[in-house]
Structure 1
Amino acid sequence: MALSEHEQRLLEQMEAAFAAEDPKLADTLSGGSGRRLETRLAVGAGLGFVLGIALLLVGIQTFWLLSILGFLVMLAATIVGLTAWQKKDGTTPPKPGRTKPPVGAHDRRFMGRFEDRWNRRQEGNGR
């Protein structure tokens, strides 16, 4: 059964609002191609790492430059694999300029709360 133009517009608006609200979930439910590409990169990196180990071992027994090439292949595969894995999981590496996360009301660490309690008790305001 076909939708009327009005229903199609409403559906498109709802989809757009859903995608804006939670883009990760919308991408997962729509079967986004970005995930497949990252998965392929991660699998390719794993195969590249195994190839690098093979080159390293063969190079040790035959020609030493081949073992260096194997190490470089392993290094490149590791970098590509970790990058693809981080993108797939949605995690991002920390920015180089920031060492500590911002401290907010709900971002406080476990030990920070205990320190606050300890300080209040020392001041006589604790329970």
Structure 2
Amino acid sequence: MPLSEQEQRLLEEMERNLYRNDADFVQAVGGVRGRRPNYRAIVLGVLLAVAGVGALIGGVASQILIIGILGFVLMFAGVLVAFTPGKRGAAAPAPSESPSSSSKPRSGAGFMDRMNDRWDRRQEGRD
């Protein structure tokens, strides 16, 4: 079911405000667009995980507990190395202004900005 014209405009305004005001949240949830994966870390992680599986199976087959435990730890470390994002593509955080510092909404503020300001005033007991 398609959105009405008013709903479409409201959705677009909410998206613009989200990208403008909550850059940290967008970066954490959506990631940085256009950033290439670190293939070296992925290959290293897969190799560590495969070595860990081999050590785990070898430890179980030989019934030597410490080799099995070391294999599991190696496997876990490999998965962490492969899936942990690198710091190379991280963007510098933008300076944020505190919306609760102003007592009235900013002129030209969007719908979500006005709603956030009203919410902040209610929480502070000023409304």
Q: Which has the larger radius of gyration?
A: 1
TM-score interval for Structure 1 and Structure 2 normalised by the shorter chain: 0.3 to 0.5
TM-score of the superposed pair, with normalisation by structure 2:
0.38
Name the structure where helix makes up a greater proportion of residues.
1
Bigger relative contact order (CA 8 A; separation at least 6): 2
TM-score of the superposed pair, with normalisation by structure 1:
0.38
